[in-house]
Structure 1
Amino acid sequence: MASSSGTSSGSSLLQNSGSEEDLQVLMDQRKRKRMISNRESARRSRMRKQKHLDELMVQVTQLSKENQRILTSISITTQQYLNVEAENSILRAQVGELSHRLQSLNDIINFLNASNGIFGAGESSTSTFMEPADSFFNPLNMGYMNQPIMASSDMLLQY
């Protein structure tokens, strides 16, 4: 009996060691599959990361070009604004000068009207035009007063 129990326990040890080896082999296979799967996952992750990085680089290039285009547009617009502002300043100065000249000319006309009565309401215009003594103040002889007043930016910069 003792021998039969010894042999039976010996055969169970052999079965246990065989199943342990099978279990170890199975675990090694699973471990290798997991390693391969992890490597493949890491490779896919690196590829996704590289693709994303490439897309970001393309986007950076596009945004840099757009930024440069906008900066150029802003520079051109600013230059145009400054040109228009300078032209407006010249025109304002010309308006002031022309207004001053017009006021002076109106003052001269008012003075001439008041002192000589050339355009006065009391006299007829036909008698005024016919008098040779007042030919200097005759409106038909005042062609110089009908000349246009010209002003340029060069004239205005002297003041």
Structure 2
Amino acid sequence: MASSSGTTTTSSGGSYPIQNSGSEEDLQQLMDQRKRKRMISNRESARRSRLRKQQHLDELATLLSQLRKENNQIISSVSITTQHYMGVEEENSVLRAQVAELSYRLQSLNEIIAFRNQPVDFGCGFAEELYGGGGGGTEFVDEFMSYVYANQPILASADMIQY
């Protein structure tokens, strides 16, 4: 089947034109050269792929570190804010207690003032005659007020005193 002008060789079920001037060794070298080029190209592509993968992993590790740092800062900020909130709540509680106490004192003082402004009448209609004319019984009321103030407890807490 081999002639000097050129023939077709069939191998593996296909036909490939082969020229007699080149030998099968040349063809084998050409195929080996192509295989080496593909192998080198594949190796280079795999190397680039590994580098891209490593670069991506490095970027993810950097991002993870950055996000952890940011998360810790947020946790710290929330903790500080919570402590501040608790302090304000505590202060508000003290202020509410002081408001209640002062409101009670004001109510008591208003009652005392209302009582003091009432004329003293023992039910017989001549209170002015007993206590000196138009004074309205102020001596008795003044004596009563001094007793009330002298026996009134002074309520204070350590939180009220500012250092």
> Partner letter of residue 106 of structure 2?
L
Distance 1:116 1:98 in 2: 29
- TM superposition shift of 1:24: 2.1
- Using the size of structure 2 for normalisation, the TM-score is 0.65
Q: What is the match of residue 35 of structure 1?
A: 39
Q: What is the match of residue 3 of structure 2?
A: 9
> Partner letter of residue 100 of structure 2?
G
Q: What is the match of residue 74 of structure 1?
A: 78
Give the one of 43, 52, 56 matched to 1:52: 56
Q: What is the match of residue 83 of structure 1?
A: 87
**2:115 aligned with 1:97:** no
Give the one of 106, 109, 115 matched to 2:110: 106
Larger RCO (CA within 8 A; separation ≥ 6): 1
Question: Which shifted more, 20-29 or 70-79?
Answer: 20-29
Give the one of 53, 57, 62 matched to 2:66: 62
Contact in 1 for aligned 2:6/2:19 (Cα 8 Å): yes
What stretches of structure 2 of length at least 5 have no aligned partner? 8-17, 122-133
Percent of pairs with identical residues = 63
Q: What is the match of residue 139 of structure 2?
A: 134
Q: What is the match of residue 11 of structure 2?
A: none
- TM superposition shift of 1:63: 1.1
Contact in 1 for aligned 2:4/2:20 (Cα 8 Å): no
Number of residues paired by the alignment? 132
What CA deviation, in whole Å up to 9, does each residue of 1:9-41 have, x standing for no partner?
378579548443322221111111010011011
What stretches of structure 1 of length at least 5 have no aligned partner? 1-5, 118-126
Distance 2:141 2:5 in 1: 152
Give the one of 136, 152, 156 matched to 1:151: 156
Distance 2:41 2:89 in 1: 70
Q: Where is the helix percentage greater, Structure 1 or Structure 2?
A: 1
Residues 1:43 and 1:52: Cα distance change in structure 2 (over 3 Å): same
Residues 1:114 and 1:136: Cα distance change in structure 2 (over 3 Å): closer
Q: Where is the strand percentage greater, Structure 1 or Structure 2?
A: 2
Distance 1:37 1:153 in 2: 83
Distance 1:67 1:46 in 2: 31
- TM superposition shift of 1:116: 4.2
